[in-house]
């Protein structure tokens, strides 16, 4: 029987959908998890750069995220400790205006419950952006309200905004994120990594 990461890596369900985007690319699932991880990073979908490298958050957003989490690249990419699971495993492509398309819902429907079952023992989840927050927290609130209410989801889950440069102004408008949330997040990550 094929294991789950191998099955997802071979998935081509969105081939026609991706071929019809402005980028006309083929599926390339970026699968980065195995059972036993101590931290789950739940995100949205790979961008073009990650599509090419095959390594999640291998871009300036990833540098900012590692800084937020207080993790070195070595630990961040150690699948025995960190699982990285976006709402779509493949780059969804750009629309005609060059904006990122949303994660195809078929990916969530096909894979996510199985992946979360495989990762059911993970002690801490970091949930990034609106699509992942809707799935993992069941919220329909906007990202700012969800992240502002981060204490509501403790101790097992902490919502974050996307670490994109596009959110630099958001960070300036919400100084509590760096003064209150991040120190607490780093302390919890230290704890789960040490306990494991």
Q: What residues line the site for ligand SF4 (CB under 6 A)?
A: 8, 11-14, 27, 29, 88-90, 104, 106-107, 110
CA 192 to chain centre: 18
φ and ψ of 32, to 5 deg: -140, 65
Output the CA–CA distances (angstroms, integers) from residue 11 to 6, 30, 105, 110, in the order listed: 9, 11, 14, 10
Nearest distance in Å: CB 104, ligand SF4: 5
Nearest distance in Å: CB 140, ligand SF4: 23
Specify whether the backbone of 138 is left (phi greater than 0), alpha (psi in -120 to 50) or beta: left
Nearest distance in Å: CB 63, ligand SF4: 25
- Give the nearer residue to ligand SF4 in terms of CB position, either 119 or 181: 119
- Give the nearer residue to ligand SF4 in terms of CB position, either 19 or 154: 19
Nearest distance in Å: CB 30, ligand SF4: 9
- Give the nearer residue to ligand SF4 in terms of CB position, either 60 or 105: 105
Angle CA(77)–CA(78)–CA(80) in degrees, nearest 5?
145
Q: In degrees to the nearest 10, what's the CA dihedral of 92, 35, 55, 42? A: 50
CB 103 within 8 A of CB 60: no
- Give the nearer residue to ligand SF4 in terms of CB position, either 18 or 150: 18
Nearest distance in Å: CB 151, ligand SF4: 32
- Give the nearer residue to ligand SF4 in terms of CB position, either 62 or 103: 103
């Amino acid at each position: 029987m094929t294991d789950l990461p191998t099955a997802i890596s071979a998935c081509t369900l969105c081939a026609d959908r991706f071929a019809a985007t402005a980028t006309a690319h083929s599926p390339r699932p970026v699968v980065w998890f195995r059972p036993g991880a101590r931290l789950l990073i739940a995100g949205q979908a790979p961008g073009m750069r990650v599509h090419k490298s095959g390594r999640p958050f291998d871009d300036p957003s990833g540098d900012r995220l590692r800084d937020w989490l207080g993790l070195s690249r070595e630990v961040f990419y150690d699948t025995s400790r960190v699982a990285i699971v976006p709402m779509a495993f493949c780059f969804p492509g750009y629309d005609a205006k060059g904006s990122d398309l949303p994660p195809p819902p078929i990916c969530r429907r096909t894979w996510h419950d199985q992946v979360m079952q495989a990762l059911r023992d993970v002690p801490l989840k970091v949930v990034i952006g609106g699509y992942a927050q809707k799935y993992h927290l069941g919220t329909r609130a906007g990202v700012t309200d969800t992240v502002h209410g981060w204490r509501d989801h403790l101790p097992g889950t902490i919502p974050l905004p996307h670490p994109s440069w596009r959110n630099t102004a958001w960070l300036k408008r919400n100084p509590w994120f760096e003064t209150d949330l991040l120190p607490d997040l780093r302390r919890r990550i230290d704890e789960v990594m040490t306990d494991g």
